[in-house]
Amino acid sequence: MKRLQFVSVLGVAVLALLSAPKTGYAQATWEGPTGVFLNPLALSLGKGQTQASVHFLDLQPAGSLTSVGVTHGLSPSWEVGVTRAALSAGGANNTNLIHAKWLALPLGKGGNWPGVALGAIYRKGENRTETSDLYVAVTKVFPTKTPVIVGLTARATNGLGSGLFGSARSHTIELGGVLAGVFFGGRVTAGVEYYEQPRVRAWRDLAVRWSLSPSTNIDAGLADLDSTFGDQVAVAVSHRW
């Protein structure tokens, strides 16, 4: 059933964003790798480039989620980073993360082939819980007059709520997806995301990005992580140098 929901949500998003023009730069996900709010993309920082990011998600009446991260490009194909995620909700597990991503196939190399990246995330919570993800991210830009950007992820994870609520007994395969397009000459990006979680319903969001410059992005979105929370409004700022 989860897989059918994933396909239906992604299909609706494709129809809604057929008019999306060329893609903009990726920012950091809330866990740190280059991507959107939730899903990593098959993109990487350039060699010697560093990206800092701050994410905030309002989870009233339970509290809020804040993450602060720094990612560095070791080469055109490798990036690594660290992130601190703090959740001010009952039973939460504040978490420190280390992540790495290898761009196995750059976007567009060899013609119309999609980009492919392999990545890993290791998390250690303050309650000594350890969780990890191994993932594959595939990103494709359909080169129409108004291109459509599609990203798909598959990850093996044992993190409950991406590790914020502890560890599952074993890793399970969870899927994710993103579709986004850039409007107004590349200044505004709009997108939708889907991100499965073990044992609970998938996370979703609608996000809009305002690119102040090629190196600085401000993001805002509406998230749907759990029905027990109120309006889940997210904001993020990322900067590269």
Q: Write the pLDDT tens digit of every residue in 88-144.
A: 766 567 899 999 999 999 987 655 789 999 999 999 988 788 999 999 999 987 766
**What is the token pair recorded at 57?**
């998600």
Indicate whether 202 pLDDT > 70: yes
Q: How far apart are CA 20 and CA 28, in angstroms?
A: 21
Per-residue pLDDT tens for 137-154? 999 877 666 667 789 999
Contacts made by residues 123-130, CB under 8 angstroms, sequence distance 24+: 123/95, 123/96, 123/97, 123/159, 123/162, 123/163, 124/95, 124/96, 125/93, 125/94, 125/95, 125/96, 125/163, 125/166, 126/93, 126/94, 126/95, 127/93, 127/166, 129/93, 129/163, 129/166, 129/167, 130/167
pTM, two decimal places:
0.85
Q: Which domains are present in the chain? A: 2-232 (2.40.160)
Indicate whether 4 pLDDT > 80: no
Please state, in angstroms and as integers, the Cα–Cα distance from residue 240 to each residue in 9, 96, 137, following that order: 32, 21, 22
Q: How far apart are CA 176 and CA 217, in angstroms?
A: 23
